[in-house]
Structure 1
């Protein structure tokens, strides 16, 4: 007869190992490194790195790359004409601590045939939630700062669309500013990526019978000289497409100092765990102390009119 409630599955082996792991920041860090699919879109868009001081970062916006005075012909023995190097507008951004905590009970550990999977699930959810938040505020900051637009020929889901021309036109708009920007990335939603990957005009220009074609299970990682970055539509402030210079647009300002008890990995997410003995549970929490910095808004253009 069935037992009600069901008996908890027995465990022999690594229960003690999991508890020791939760007590060791070094072991948690190694566990985080095995979760390969967790990546910030924010760090691909804003590749520069800034150090905060006193909880904020000071930076220049749209710093000119040319001096204001034209170069002149200099006569032999004459003094070179002098000019003052122009600076961009000073801006200040305060870092914020984005984090969340969750509990991992002894029962959840004991009743899983693979206790390590339960720990991975908890870590994954915490880190995923932090990634979603940081990505959302970063992409929103980019969308607010970037004012330049380039209209699409037509919606990307119709036969009259010319997706490659739309992208090349946006690149040209950035390069024609003559500010030293070199577009190297394109950001779009999963739906826009689907339109681009299945576009007949782009397909005819790709190499045939090669395994990196989307039809064979490959991805379009590069389009021309642009690295393709795909984000869920829910993280984008609008269903547009952005072309930008990731080396010039800006960066993430992280508070790099790690407080006692925390472990931090390549994703800049800090994790800590604590035993709650009276609840027969562990509390696991994560955080990222950061702020997106948009230093060169002119290094990006938004392609509008792509919506179906």
Structure 2
């Protein structure tokens, strides 16, 4: 663990008191610990399905067709119906992995911390955030690898000739035209792309004016072209493109839902536990998530490319 552990005791030199920034100080203002929602993790908003695992793995079908290969035929009176093979997708198997982390929290660190009684909760929150961050990165990477369908933007979204709404419509049309019952409902983009979309003059001219849900008042667009807007840092994306998808069909997370003794389930299926180490005057805190992302219908998403150009 980096830094002094625990923090050094305060020192006094003449009239000068030196105290570690994390030690108790009556004048220090507590900084609110950032929640996972503040860090804008997005994987569970994109892969909304939930799969149950068996034996540490999940079996699923990729791109399962919604029709059979044999066409329906005219059936004469008294005749048997023609049989067809049931349409199936490509079988795939994904192994669940356990992602976890532990931290040690000494009694001295708890007693001398400005957060005092909240130190355990804060340490666990950091563990949970770290695990969610890892799973989020793996999930977004899997989406980036599986989704190969692209739609080219008419122009860079930072250009005066940008056709943002048309680009979204083209991506929606490409997904719907797969004729697999897909219904695109989300759009994923970086904060920068969102800023370009929200300030686009064409998009602005088509929105209802003089209403409090206008971005000029509310500061955000929650829905555009029938798509729920999800924004995150470009660092959280597989590439700084714009992604349109059917979140109900694209895929899901396969979690081992059984909770072993001593664990409690926290945010986004992360299981946490703590143990008192009496002989060490410390707490051992750890968390884990047993999961694997499953991309079941890669054709249910499109990547809009060419949005980065600004001139």
Change (3 A) 1:107 1:197: farther
The 5 A counterparts of 1:37-116 are: 37=38, 40-116=41-117
Q: CA RMSD in A?
A: 2.3
Note if contact 2:58-2:93 (Cα within 8 Å) is conserved in structure 1: yes
Give 1:43 deviation, angstroms: 1.0
Note if contact 2:46-2:247 (Cα within 8 Å) is conserved in structure 1: yes
Change (3 A) 1:228 1:6: closer
Q: Does 1:295 align with 2:274?
A: no
CA distance in 2, matches of 1:141, 1:274: 34
Q: Does 1:284 align with 2:290?
A: no
CA distance in 1, matches of 2:25, 2:156: 58
More helix, by proportion: 1
Between 1:68-77 and 1:151-160, the stretch displaced more is 68-77
Q: Give the count of matched residue pairs.
A: 287
CA distance in 1, matches of 2:148, 2:139: 16
- In the other structure, the counterpart of 1:141 is 142
What do the CA deviations read for 1:217-273 (whole angstroms, capped 9, x no partner)? 342111121111112211212111111111111110001111111110351001111
Aligned residue for 2:268, secondary structure, equals coil
CA distance in 2, matches of 1:240, 1:35: 23
Change (3 A) 1:38 1:239: closer
- In the other structure, the counterpart of 2:264 is 263
Q: Does 1:132 align with 2:168?
A: no
- In the other structure, the counterpart of 1:236 is 237
What do the CA deviations read for 1:48-87 (whole angstroms, capped 9, x no partner)? 1111111110001111111111111222222222111121
User: What are the ranges of 5 or more consecutive residues in structure 1 without an aligned counterpart?
Assistant: 12-33
CA distance in 2, matches of 1:143, 1:191: 19
User: What are the ranges of 5 or more consecutive residues in structure 2 without an aligned counterpart?
Assistant: 1-13, 27-34
Change (3 A) 1:112 1:209: farther
- In the other structure, the counterpart of 2:10 is none
CA distance in 2, matches of 1:303, 1:59: 27
Note if contact 1:10-1:110 (Cα within 8 Å) is conserved in structure 2: no
